[in-house]
Amino acid sequence: MKKLPTWIQEIFGEESVDSTLSFFFIVLLVLAFKSSVLDANNIPSGSMLPTLKIGDFLFVNKMRYSLRLPFTDIELKRYDDPKRGDIVTFIPPDGAVSPEEKEGWFPKRFVKRVIGLPGDRIRIVKVLHERDGFPTVYGKIEYMEKGKTDFSAYDFKDEEKGNLFDDLDDDAAVQYYLFKEKKPDFEHYVIEGNTRPYTHEFKDAECFQVTGCVIPEDHYMMMGDNRTNSSDSRFWGFVPRDNILGKAALIYFSINWKDHVCAYKSAEDLGQNGDSAQKYDPEEFRSKCGDIGSNMNWFKSTIFYRIPRMQVRWYRIGTVLE
């Protein structure tokens, strides 16, 4: 191996330089592994509640579907495709985020569930349903696989909240209802009960018509499990296969920062009773949560308010995702 210049060895010492180069080589290998094999992602929003909670940290299997060139999104070899119901990470399609958010050192990536496959005809039917004596709406998803003539459906059933809503860190989601939706091989939780009508606000409005919409070849339909608050294919269309980066595999850590529910005295009360749960008075709120009307920076807010009120969701660590 070619030796380093004498002047570098004289300044730093040969052993020191070798150790530094070895360290950077190891860091490079770790980053390459993260880029192409097993990535780590965090969940900043509530679009996948209650399956993925705000503050969850995930391992994502980047080699589940394809082999990609390290430090890029270039696909070298594709050996599998996402299945119906998979939770995947992907590059947002055009129109989902601004071009600036898709690029740079920390590009925005989405985590959603695969609802429709290439060639599927998708029909979302507004089902009037009664929960706790009140009428609500469930967007039932029906699909006709390519080459078939009949629709199948992701059937749903009522589920009680139990303690699933106690630590969502989302004061909007707790206002709705919990269901279980059936995929071909498993069931998963869904938050639904949106009373607003399905209208032209959706990009693919024909998906809500009797004939449904057809997913183009090499594209997938994605939706969040929190159907009441998810930016997904209903709003910005289908996702190209090239954009899909990996499959969510495991929750390795989880923190409830209580950023959105800090005003409420009891997580259990909020989870069961929604916005009618008891809140702190203004003075108590300022002492526990900070003055939300001030210009307090993120660092100061985290040190003095977020860290003292945070809770680690120990029970979620090691959860295998499906």
What residues are labeled active site? 47, 112
Residue 276, classed as helix, strand or coil, is: helix
From CA 209, how far away is CA 172, in angstroms rounded?
A: 28
The single-letter code of the amino acid at 214 is V
| Cβ partners under 8 Å of residue 78, min gap 6 | 65, 66
Q: Kindly give the residue spans of alpha helices, DSSP state H, lying in 63-153.
A: 99-102
Q: Are 182 and 156 in contact (CB under 8 A)?
A: yes
Residue 268, classed as helix, strand or coil, is: helix
Secondary structure element (H or E) that encloses residue 27, with its range:
helix 14-36
Q: Tokens standing for 286?
A: 């300022």
